[in-house]
Amino acid sequence: MRFVVPYTPGAANDTLARVLAQHLGEATGRSVVVDNKPGGGGHIAAEQVAHTTPDGQTLLVTTNGLLAIGPHLYRKLPYDPQKDLAPVVRFADVPYALSAAPDLGIKNVGELIALAKQRPEQVNFASSGNGSVPHLCGELINLKAGIKLTHVPYKGGAQAMNDVMAGTVQLYCGSIPSLLGYAQSGRIRLLGVTSAKRSPLLPDLPTFEEQGLHGIDVNSWVGLHAPRGTPASTIEHLYTEVAKLMATDKLRQAFLSQGAEPEAVAPADFAARIRQESERWAPIVEASGATLD
């Protein structure tokens, strides 16, 4: 079996896919190979898997950035994300938080909003690129808080974080696992969790909702999709195998150690959630003006 990862080795989604591949291989006695195919915002790998023989042997590692946001950024894709890929299982949630440069002098969401209203368009936020989840996180905060933070795009999250720590830019919304070490060392300050609920890694850090800013729910999830035409019985078998693993302490602890919350969302529910997220992100992408053609 092959997991095609549309991102570079070492990325959070790649790491989680490798953890699942290892445990699935051990549990089933099969070889599960991880194959990285980065480029084109993930759509190069997605197109390849979409047109692969639908025998359940090749699966695409998917994210909300790829399937719920990406279709709104490209005017034309070489495949149809809704029709050419079949959901198998959503297996992990990765919580996000908003970080700030310590010298910005704010400690929470309320202070950020007050500062941004005093200094419209003078408080900026970094992202890993136009149309990325960190970019749209900032745009959603602008929309819901009625403020004007200025977007500064970078070519990757590492570059963005380096400039936040240096004070060159002031804010960055990223996955909690990627922010945690910097926050613990005092090089950044975390203002709030942008996901719907608190993270087990930071149980004392409140969400934006708890701090009074409603409608902020930004995280990343990771799942598996198969090519269109894969037999329903094959998809159900794959889902069942992954769901069994997600119920084991061994795999749950392996995911939690990476800052991800393990889950096993069934194919039909997974498809419904993607549709809901796609509808939620569409107006935010439009308001941001981001395109990737």
Beta bridge partners of 86: 226
Domain regions of the chain by residue span: 2-93+220-288, 95-193
In the CATH hierarchy, which fold is given to the domain comprising 2-93+220-288?
D-Maltodextrin-Binding Protein; domain 2 (3.40.190)
For 120-157, b where at least 16 C-beta lie within 10 A, e where not — what string? eeebbbbbbbebbbbbbbbbbbbbebebebbbbbbeeb
User: What string of DSSP letters covers 27-81?
Assistant: HHT---EEEE---GGGHHHHHHHHTS--SSSEEEEEEHIIIIIHHHH-S--SS-T
Q: What is the pLDDT of residues 154-198, one digit of tens each?
A: 988 889 999 999 999 999 999 998 899 999 999 999 999 999 999
Percent over 70 (pLDDT), the chain: 100
Does residue 293 register a pLDDT over 70? no
Q: pLDDT value at position 171? A: 98
Rounded Cα gap, residues 186 and 175, in angstroms = 17
Element (H, E) at 221: strand 219-227
Of 65, 73, 69, 90, nearest to 6 by C-alpha is: 65
Domain 95-193: CATH superfamily is: Periplasmic binding protein-like II (3.40.190.10)
Rounded to an integer, the average pLDDT of 49-77 is 94
Rounded Cα gap, residues 269 and 275, in angstroms = 10
Q: What is the pLDDT of residues 187-216, one digit of tens each?
A: 999 999 999 999 988 999 999 999 999 999
Rounded Cα gap, residues 129 and 40, in angstroms = 13
Of 84, 85, 93, nearest to 63 by C-alpha is: 93
Query: pTM of the predicted model, to two decimals?
Result: 0.90
